[in-house]
Chain A
Amino acid sequence: GDSVTQMEGPVTLSEEAFLTINCTYTATGYPSLFWYVQYPGEGLQLLLKATKADDKGSNKGFEATYRKETTSFHLEKGSVQVSDSAVYFCALSSQGAQKLVFGQGTRLTINP
């Protein structure tokens, strides 16, 4: 079945550091790919998405490129801020599927 694997956390960085959170997936066909973010005590919010190969999703300085050849959708940001501290979830939705499949989440902490 469909699955998503994220890099193990927690990840701790200093402010203005470069961020990469790895995400790889297993799915049939051409799924849509998502990154969601969860701030402490809250629900999830959509951060960005990509619906076909080579698409780049971007939002709030974060980017991720849909790489079908490596089945990956890594999240990157050039200069992180303390306010980026949160849990980040990679997810996929297969064509025609009625639901999302989530990775286990990666907790990110940014120190000033």
Chain B
Amino acid sequence: DGGITQSPKYLFRKEGQNVTLSCEQNLNHDAMYWYRQDPGQGLRLIYYSQIVNDFQKGDIAEGYSVSREKKESFPLTVTSAQKNPTAFYLCASSNRGSGANVLTFGAGSRLTVL
């Protein structure tokens, strides 16, 4: 079945450590996205990428970094510069030719800073 796989599902980090969240899709989608979800705040866009080797900052990019070396992969690194990284992180993808920009989401990764 086609879909998006995020790993790990749960991750614990000590303050000052960088962590990388994996996102892989086998939908042959061009665009990929990272959102952060906090209680009562909905989803906020961190980074997105329309094509390989290109990506743009979203609304809350500070303290995060991404790469897009392959079409199917869009890993997110949460750096020590991110002041409040505890959150639920969602990866999504879409087909640029789909017209209405329908997103397909992964199951999410929950990061907790100890």
Contacts and interface: CB of A to CB of B under 8 A. Distances in A.
Given A51-B99, A93-B100, A99-B48, A43 B42 contact: no
Contacts of B43: 44, 89, 102, 105
Contact of B42 (A42, A99, A104): A104
Contacts of A97: 101
Question: How many of chain A's residues touch chain B, expressed as a range?
Answer: 20 to 34
Nearest to B56: A98
Interface residues of B, number: 26
Nearest to B100: A32
Report, nearest first, the 5 A-B pairs whose CB atoms are least far apart: A43-B105, A104-B42, A93-B101, A102-B43, A32-B100
Interface of A: 32, 34, 36, 41-46, 49, 51, 89, 93, 97-100, 102-105
26 contacts: A32-B100, A34-B100, A34-B102, A36-B103, A41-B107, A43-B6, A43-B107, A43-B108, A44-B43, A44-B103, A45-B105, A46-B104, A49-B102, A51-B99, A51-B100, A89-B42, A89-B43, A93-B100, A93-B101, A99-B58, A102-B35, A102-B42, A102-B43, A104-B41, A104-B42, A105-B42
